[in-house]
Amino acid sequence: MASDRIFGLVTLFVALAYIASATQIQTSFLSDPVGPKAFPMLIGAVAAICALVMIFKPDPDPDWPAARTWGGLAIAVIVLICYAYALKPLGFVIPTIFAAGILSYQISPRPLPAIASGIGLSVGLFILFKFALGLGLVAFPKGWF
């Protein structure tokens, strides 16, 4: 119940903000009867109605994970964000070893298989992408080799 209500409330605010920003859309001199504002505002309005239904007629709560698992999920998100930033400056191999290894450890918390999985996936996928599929991937940071 609470999950739907919270999500509905957040959605309602987002929908209202969306409608508000849609009102700010500039119209060009070539405007048609509907213009570029109407459809986004309509979508925002329907979303707001759906959000209200979720608030007033919520479904039973889903099984949310325990606090520890939430921690794990947060780590996974941080790892993926760092991976996104690291790919360009550090090349493919090193960030992939860390990202794949950490994700692997989170799915099955055993250090050795996780390390093996990180190194194996990094090297294996690099060979596959670079030589079998011909992608222009950079292996290591520039100037290393």
Partner 1 sequence: MDMMANLALGFSVALSPFTLMLAVAGCFLGTIIGALPGLGPSNGVAILIPLTFTMGLDATSALVLMTSVYYGAMYGGRISSILLNIPGDEPALMTTLDGYPMAKQGRAGDALVLSGVASFVGAFLATIGLMLLAPMLARVAYLFGPAEYFALYLLAFCTLGGMASNNQAKAALASCIGLGIAMIGVDSSSGLPRLTGGNLHLYDGIDFLVAIVGLFAIAEIFFFIESHGKGSSLGVKLDKVRIPWRDIAATKWTMLRASGVGFVAGILPGAGASLGSFLAYMSEKSIAGPKGGFGTGVAKGVAAPEAGNNSAAGGALVPMLTLGVPGSGTTAVLLALLMTLNITPGPTLFTDRPEVVWGLIASLLIANVVLLLMNVPMVKIFVKVLMVPPWVLLPGVTMISFVGIYSLSGSYFDLLLMVGFGLLGYILRKLDIPTVPIILGILLGGKMEDALRRAMVLSDGDFAFLFSTPIAIGLWIAAIAGFVAPMFLRGVLKKPQAVTD
Among 108, 112, 143, 145, binds partner 1 (CB under 8 A): 108
Query: Is residue 125 at the binding interface for partner 1, with CB under 8 A as the rule?
Result: yes
Among 39, 127, 140, 144, binds partner 1 (CB under 8 A): 39
Q: How many other CB atoms are found less than 10 A from the CB of residue 66?
A: 9
In 3D, which of 109, 119, 106 has the Cα closest to residue 78? Answer: 106
Rounded to 5 degrees, φ, ψ at 67 are -55, -40
Query: Is residue 2 at the binding interface for partner 1, with CB under 8 A as the rule?
Result: no
Q: How many other CB atoms are found less than 10 A from the CB of residue 92?
A: 20
Say how many residues touch partner 1, by CB under 8 A.
72
Which residue's entry shows tokens 């606090």? 67
Query: Is residue 118 at the binding interface for partner 1, with CB under 8 A as the rule?
Result: yes
Query: Is residue 137 at the binding interface for partner 1, with CB under 8 A as the rule?
Result: yes
